[in-house]
Amino acid sequence: MTRLVLIRHGESNATVERRIGGPRTCTGLSPLGREQAVALAHRLASTGELTPDVLLSSGYPRARESAELIASSVGDLPVEIDEALGEHDPGPECDGLSFDEFVRRYGSPDWETNPYATTFPGGETIAEFHHRVGAALHRVIADHDGRTVIIVCHGGVIDRALRLFLRTTTMGQFQIHTVNTGLTEFLRVRVDMWRMMRYNDAAHLAGLPVETPRA
């Protein structure tokens, strides 16, 4: 059976700095983010709970760095980069802006009702983001049928995967909050039928700070 394990990256510098960290300006993990990824690696090495055939990562530095830190604990697999598994792209105009500056310039967008609205001027709409990620997930599933795949990615990608595999609304109606380095696992039990095995499994974070104080 095909098994997908999605892991959100560790805490990012962009989050600590309270800015939009798109693909152009992401500078990777914060010190705490690295600690989170190392804690996950230690857990996976000691439990042996994941024996993947493939280790994929978004192209964002924060995801790639997280994947590289856990690679040795899951069989020293090479980290394969899939750019289509990146977070919602804010576009060049908004990438790198502080959250406060973004709101000052553009106000607070509607993230929950209209997927075609311009949330990031010059960037992806939510509909475009959903299409990209959905197509990428279907491709990964087709390419790795019957295998165990780890995907190190982003909160938005995991939200999209959950809604896609559980056949729920594409946006709105409920919210999820995926923690950094949390594991979400899906098992395909038959064609077009997925079982969610776990969500937000982050037991390895016990004893670590919840977050770095924000700038």
* Residue 161, CA distances (Å) to 50, 143, 153 in order: 19, 17, 11
Instruction: Decide if pLDDT at 173 tops 90.
Output: no
Map out the domains of the chain as residue ranges.
3-205
pTM: 0.96
In angstroms, the CA 197 to CA 126 distance is 27
| Beta carbons of 64 and 81 less than 8 angstroms apart | yes
Selecting from 3.40.50.1240, 3.40.50.300, 3.40.50.11820, 3.40.50.150, what CATH number does the domain 3-205 have?
3.40.50.1240
Dihedral class, residue 122 (left if φ above 0, else alpha if ψ from -120 to 50, else beta): left
Mean pLDDT calculated for residue range 181-209: 96
Q: How far apart are CA 69 and CA 64, in angstroms?
A: 9
| Confidence check: pLDDT of 112 > 90 | no
Residue 215 banded pLDDT, cuts 50, 70, 90: low
Range of lowest pLDDT (5-9, 114-118, 138-142): 114-118
Lowest model confidence (mean pLDDT) among 1-10, 103-112, 122-131, 132-141: 103-112
In what helix (H) or strand (E) does residue 169 lie, and over which residues does it extend? none
The residue type of 24 is R
Whether the pLDDT of residue 110 is over 90: the answer is: no
Determine phi and psi for 79, rounding to 5 degrees: -85, 115
Asked if 11 contacts 208 with a C-beta cutoff of 8 angstroms, the reply is no
Which residues have C-beta within 8 Å of that of residue 104, sequence separation ≥ 6? none
pLDDT at residue 172 in the model: 81
Provide the terminal-to-terminal Cα distance of the chain, rounded to the nearest Å.
45
Residue 196: count other Cβ atoms within 10 Å of its Cβ. 13
Q: Give the closest residue to 50 by CA, choosing from 140, 141, 151, 157.
A: 151
In this predicted structure, the answer to whether residue 151 has a pLDDT above a threshold of 70 is yes
Residue 174: per-residue pLDDT: 85
Task: Give residue-wise pLDDT tens across range 32-51.
Answer: 999 999 999 999 999 999 99
205: left (phi over 0), alpha (psi -120 to 50) or beta: alpha
Both tokens assigned to 134: 């959905």
Mean pLDDT of the chain: 96
Q: Provide the 3-class DSSP secondary structure of residue 133.
A: helix
pLDDT at 145: 97
Bridge partners (DSSP) of residue 150 are: 5, 55
| pLDDT tens digits, one per residue of 49-97 | 999 999 999 999 999 999 999 999 999 999 999 999 999 999 999 999 9
171 confidence band (pLDDT: 50, 70, 90): confident
